[in-house]
Structure 1
Amino acid sequence: MNNKKFLGIILILILAAAGAYAYLGGFAKPEVSRVTTSEIFVAGKAYQGPVKSEAFGKLFQEAGKLVAEGAITGDPGNIFYNDPEKHKDSINAFVGVIISDPKTSLPAGYEVRSVPAGKKAVQGTIDAHSIISPSKVYDAIFKFAKDQHITLQDYFVERYPNSHRAEILVLEK
């Protein structure tokens, strides 16, 4: 193969990768602001253990399936009670669905937990695929907090209204 063909193939691959990244929202910028929380209800299941465990992943899949099938009305969402980077890749989480009515009928094994109203927090949102949105939003939230001299708790709430939108809330200390 000559150099021109090789370079042409490389250019096509780079353009395809850039197009896929753009489609996923990779060039989108998170919006970050300080907010006061409203009460948030999450129907789900608790999990403690390794972040990369199969059981942890299955909880996300289960919640997404319940929403897709209409068994629970709401958006996939989670509460994380610690930062796995600070705890040797171990997470303390509550994985499920953000619901509007805490008295809604729940599938077996699900319970409701709430995020209290009136708490100061930093919120980040982005219109990007859930594959890339969490890291982009968390990076923006932590940078915003550092720049504004805000101390954050290891208490994170994630909400995914659709596959191309993420809303993340981190409570302030």
Structure 2
Amino acid sequence: MSKKFVVAVAVVVAIGVGIYAYLGGFSSPTVTVTTSEPLLLAGQPFEGTVNDEAFGNAFRKAAQIRDSKQLTGILGNVYYNSPETKKDSIKAFIGLVIQDSTVKLPEGYKLLRVPGGRKVVRSEVDAHYMVGPGKLYTSLFDYAEEEKLNLENFYVEWFPSDRKGIVEVPVKK
């Protein structure tokens, strides 16, 4: 190998590590047990494989609705099976966490009320939504295993900003 090749590879790796750090890739999630607050989501249900084009389109549609100000809210989703362990298929509700239930919804959107007052394991991380979800779920599952907590198959995630992610999972009674 030539020195130029080694230097070029080192520069590319350094840039990659820098981007990963900028996105919050080295941030550590905080995991707590708390009581959930009620949430209201406007979105669309999805059931299918994670590789389905419609799955990605649902996320893009939510971001487009938010960015165009059709609805005021933050990106949020509910998964009815574990997005980390169920790689082949997923059942979800994808959209925006909103405050006003009387707002006119975009075509194809419905309201989903997530009740509050439940004991949940909550994971938060200050990282871009491109790298945050993996960190959120790993830390949440590790914590639940360490504390011997059984979790429901109901995962609520939302992103208050491009650099913050939150996941809550109810603890089975």
Corresponding residue number in structure 2 for 1:112: 111
**Among the aligned pairs, what percent are the same residue?**
37
2-side partners of 1:111 and 1:35: how far apart?
Answer: 28
1-side partners of 2:162 and 2:120: how far apart?
Answer: 24
Superposed CA deviations along residues 43-80 of structure 1, whole A, max 9, x for unmatched, are 11111111111011111111111111111111011111
What secondary structure is seen at the aligned counterpart in 2 of 1:135? helix
Corresponding residue number in structure 2 for 1:126: 125
2-side partners of 1:152 and 1:66: how far apart?
Answer: 32
Question: Unaligned 5+ residue runs, structure 2?
Answer: none
Tell me by how many angstroms 1:121 deviates. Answer: 0.6
Counterparts of 1:88-107 in structure 2 under 5 Å?
89-107=88-106
TM-score in terms of structure 2 length = 0.93
Bigger proportion of residues as strand: 1
What secondary structure is seen at the aligned counterpart in 1 of 2:82? coil
What secondary structure is seen at the aligned counterpart in 2 of 1:154? coil
CA contact (8 A) 2:124 2:165 kept: yes
What secondary structure is seen at the aligned counterpart in 1 of 2:120? strand
- The answer to whether 1:142 aligns with 2:130 is no
1-side partners of 2:88 and 2:168: how far apart?
Answer: 21
Corresponding residue number in structure 2 for 1:43: 42
Corresponding residue number in structure 2 for 1:70: 69
Superposed CA deviations along residues 137-172 of structure 1, whole A, max 9, x for unmatched, are 100000111111111111101101222211111111
CA contact (8 A) 2:84 2:137 kept: no
Deviates more, 1:82-91 or 1:22-31: 82-91
What secondary structure is seen at the aligned counterpart in 2 of 1:98? strand
2-side partners of 1:29 and 1:106: how far apart?
Answer: 36
What secondary structure is seen at the aligned counterpart in 1 of 2:156? strand
4+ residue runs of structure 1 moved beyond 4 angstroms?
84-88
2-side partners of 1:170 and 1:162: how far apart?
Answer: 20
Corresponding residue number in structure 1 for 2:27: 28
State the one-letter code of the partner of 1:57.
G
Corresponding residue number in structure 2 for 1:155: 154
Pairwise CA RMSD:
1.5
What secondary structure is seen at the aligned counterpart in 2 of 1:139? helix
Q: 1:165 to 1:148 in 2, by over 3 A?
A: same
TM-score in terms of structure 1 length = 0.93
CA contact (8 A) 2:50 2:87 kept: no
State the one-letter code of the partner of 1:172.
V
State the one-letter code of the partner of 1:147.
E
